[in-house]
């Protein structure tokens, strides 16, 4: 697997365009996957979230196409091997047998791995755009980065408040229990 498609970078612009092409492929692959995830989700709120992610991914594709046009380039995807692998693993979850409540927890785990990849990609590409003086493109990429970060937070909230407790057969978290980020444990407020 390779995060970079070129074997030689002669300029930051080369690197920037490479990253845009990687993101473009990643978003296209996601559009093909979100509906499958929505159809397989047992919890209606999770299915709705995947449908929303499909809509957001299509908006993000449109932003990337705008970025390419602003650079005077045709939108072009370079195979994103990382996203290809993440989606392959996600499809394994989609076809898994067993308790659908537990599968919902696995679907969220897979979706968050994808979100984290996209957050890293959009953050990097936005920074490159800023460094290269492409303020309008940086703004477009920041919009997508904000959406990906919010989606990750929504998946975390849904997992902690509804899906994981359902999957364990336990009760929902006690009132006042909050979850601040994937890197921090529960806190009782």
Tokens of 139: 């703004």
Q: What is the pTM of this model?
A: 0.85
Residue 145 in contact with residue 129, Cβ under 8 Å? Answer: no
Q: What is the pLDDT of residue 32?
A: 76
CA distance 26 to 38: 18
What are the angstrom distances between the C-alpha of 96 and each of 23, 37, 54, 99? 28, 12, 22, 9
**Residue 3 scores a pLDDT above 90:** no
* Residues 98-122: tens digit of each pLDDT: 999 999 999 999 999 999 999 999 9
Q: What is the pLDDT of residue 170?
A: 64
* Residues 8-57: tens digit of each pLDDT: 788 999 999 999 999 999 999 988 789 999 999 999 999 999 999 999 99
Domains of the chain, start order:
12-188 (1.20.1260.10)
Tokens of 55: 């809509």
* Residues 150-173: tens digit of each pLDDT: 999 999 999 999 999 999 986 544
Tokens of 118: 């996209």
* Residues 136-156: tens digit of each pLDDT: 999 999 999 999 999 999 999
């Amino acid at each position: 697997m390779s995060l970079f498609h070129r074997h030689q970078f002669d300029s930051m612009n080369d690197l920037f365009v490479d990253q845009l092409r990687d993101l473009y492929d990643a978003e296209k692959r996601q559009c093909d996957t979100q509906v499958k995830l929505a159809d397989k989700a047992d919890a209606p709120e999770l299915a709705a979230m995947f449908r929303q992610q499909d809509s957001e991914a299509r908006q993000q594709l449109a932003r990337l196409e705008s970025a390419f046009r602003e650079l005077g380039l045709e939108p072009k995807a370079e195979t994103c091997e990382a996203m290809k692998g993440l989606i392959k693993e996600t499809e394994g979850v989609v076809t898994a047998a067993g308790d659908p409540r537990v599968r919902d927890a696995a679907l969220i785990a897979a979706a968050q791995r994808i979100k984290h990849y996209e957050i890293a990609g959009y953050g990097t590409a936005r920074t490159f755009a800023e460094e290269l003086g492409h303020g309008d493109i940086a703004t477009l990429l920041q919009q997508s980065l904000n959406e990906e970060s919010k989606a990750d937070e929504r998946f975390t909230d849904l997992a902690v408040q509804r899906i994981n407790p359902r999957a364990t057969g336990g009760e929902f978290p006690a009132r006042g229990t909050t979850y601040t980020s994937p890197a921090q444990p529960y806190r009782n407020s």
